[in-house]
Amino acid sequence: MTSNFTLEADHLTKAFAENTVLDGVSLAMKKGERLVLFGPSGSGKTTLLRCLNLLETPDSGRVTFQGDDVFGGTCGNRTIQGERLSVFRARVSMVFQQFELFPHLSVLGNVMLGPVHALGVRKAEARASALEQLEAVGLAHLADAQPGRLSGGQKQRVAIARSLAMSPDVVLFDEPTAALDPELVGDVLATLRTLAERGLTMVIVTHHIGFAHEVADRAVFMENGRIVEQGTPDEVLKNPAEARTRQFLKSVLAA
C-alpha cells in the first residue's frame, strides 16, 4: 500500500481505568514535516506519542506507518512483539523527558547500544555513526564521559544523538526541555532547530510557543484527549480560531 503520509493515527482511543486519555484522535504526518503538539497537562499529548511509538497499545483505532497498518487491523488486543517491535521503534524513535540514559555506560556506549543490539550493526560501524551523531549535537568531545558527569541539557542532547543513531524515519519528542533548568533549555532547542533544518520528520510536544512558531510546519492544540485545532503556526499560534486555544495561549504567554 502506498501513502502520502509517513505515520498516521486513525481514531485512536486509550483509557486507563475510567479515565479516557485519547478520544478518537486522528493525525497524519508527511515525510519531512515538523509537527508541534501543545495543550494543558493531561490533554493526551504524551499518551498519543506513546501510542505512536507502541509503548502503549491503543484500545481502538489504527496506527499506519508508510502505508502499512502496524497492527494488521484495529488495535484492540492486538500487539506486535520481538524483532518486529524493535525494528518499528528504530524507525519511529522517541526522546523522553527524563533522558533514560544508562549510567554504567559512557556517552558513546549509550549512543551505540541500540544500533548494535537492536539492529545488529557491527560495533565499528556503530561507533563511527555514534561519533557522527554526537558531533551533530555538539558533544563529540564528551564521548568517553559518564552520564552522571553531564548537565541536564547535555544528557538530553545525548538522548537525541542516541535516537538519531538508529536512523529513524520519525522522531517523537516528549517535552524534551521539561526536566531542564531554564538556562539549559537553549542548547536543546538549538539542537532541535538544526534537526528541523535537516528535514527530519519530527513530532514535538512543547510549551515553548515561540520555538514552536519558528520550527513547526503544523501546530496541533489538544485538550481532554481530543484535537481542538490544528493548522499552520500562523493560524493556530498567532490567530487561533477556537476560543479555548486563545485562552490557553494567553495563559502560557503571560506566565
| Domains annotated on the chain, with CATH | 7-102+170-254 (3.40.50.300)
* CA torsion through residues 176, 180, 182, 183, sign: negative
Average pLDDT of the residues in 207-229: 93
Give tens-digit pLDDT for 100-120: 899 999 999 999 998 998 888
Highest-pLDDT range among 86-100, 126-140, 168-182, 196-210: 126-140
| pTM of the predicted structure, to 2 decimals | 0.90
Sheet containing 19-29: give its strands across. 19-29, 7-16, 60-65, 68-69
Q: Pick the closest to residue 172 from 61, 47, 80 (CA basis).
A: 47
pLDDT at 1: 46
Give tens-digit pLDDT for 149-162: 999 999 999 999 99
Whether the predicted pLDDT of 241 surpasses 80: yes
